[in-house]
Amino acid sequence: NKEVEEDRITVAQPITQDRTMIRKSLVNSLLEFLEDNKHEELPQKIFEIGDVAYIDESAETKMRTVKKLAAAMVSSNANYTDIKAIVESFTSNMGFEMNITDSNNSIFIPGRCADFEVTTTDDKLPFTFTGYYGELHPEVITNFDLEYPVVLFEVEFSQKE
C-alpha cells in the first residue's frame, strides 16, 4: 500500500480508477515522482506547490481547500540533519521565527522528524504556516520501491484571522 494518508475525500465520478480521492497532502505525488525517476542520477531534489482538500462540515461544500508546499530529496546519504537545515535556513532567511516540536508522524523514522509552526511580526504577511519534516521510515521507502534514504518537508499555508 503506497498511501500515506487517511480520511480522504472520495471523488464521485473519477476520470481514472487510480485517482478516486482528493489529496490531503503533496507527499504521495513527490514519492511517486521519485519512484518513477529512480533510474536517474542522485541526488534528486524536487518540490511541488499545490492545493489539497480536507473535510470541513462547517463549510458550504463540506470541504476546505488549502495551499501546500512540499519538497523531497533522495540521495545515498540523505538524513534528518539535511532537511532540518533546509527548513531552518528557509525560515530564518525569510525573517520568520519557528517553533519546533517533536512529531509522531508515522511516515518518518521515530525521533528523526519534527512538526513546526512559523510566526512573523510582519502584519503585511497574509498567511501563517505550519508543517513537518523528517527522514522517511524504511517501510515507506520500500513501499515506493525506492532504494536510498529520502527526506522531505511539507508546509500548509493558512490565512491569518
In a domain, 50, yes or no: yes
Note whether 124 and 152 are within 8 A (CB): no
With a CB cutoff of 8 Å and minimum separation 6, the contacts of 77 are 149
CB 160 within 8 A of CB 127: yes
CATH number, position 129: 3.30.930.10
Work out the pLDDT band at 124, boundaries 50, 70, 90.
Answer: low
Mean pLDDT across the chain, nearest whole number?
85
Instruction: Tell me if 143 is assigned to some domain.
Output: yes
d(CA 74, CA 53): 27
Determine the average pLDDT of the residues in 93-115. Answer: 93
DSSP secondary structure letter of residue 105: -
What kind and span of H or E run contains 114? Answer: strand 108-119
Residue 146 has pLDDT above 50, yes or no: yes
How far is residue 32's CA from residue 143's CA, in Å, rounded to a whole number?
10
Domain count within the chain = 1
Q: Pick the closest to residue 130 from 112, 115, 151 (CA basis).
A: 115
Residue 142 lies inside a defined structural domain of this protein: yes
78 assigned to some structural domain: yes
Any domain includes 1: no
Q: Kindly state whether residue 28 falls inside one of the protein's structural domains.
A: yes
C-alpha cell at 107: 511516515
Q: Which residue did the predictor score with more confidence, 24 or 59?
A: 24
Assess whether pLDDT exceeds 70 at residue 139. Answer: yes
Structural domain harbouring 101:
9-159
Position 2 confidence tier, pLDDT thresholds 50, 70, 90: very low
CB 22 within 8 A of CB 9: yes
63 assigned to some structural domain: yes
Sequence-separated (6 or more) residues with CB below 8 Å from residue 143: 1, 2
- 8-state DSSP, 19: -
SS3 54: strand
pLDDT confidence tier of residue 17, bands split at 50, 70 and 90: low
Q: Is the pLDDT of residue 37 over 90?
A: yes
Q: Is residue 3 part of a domain?
A: no
Read off φ and ψ for residue 29, nearest 5 degrees.
-60, -45
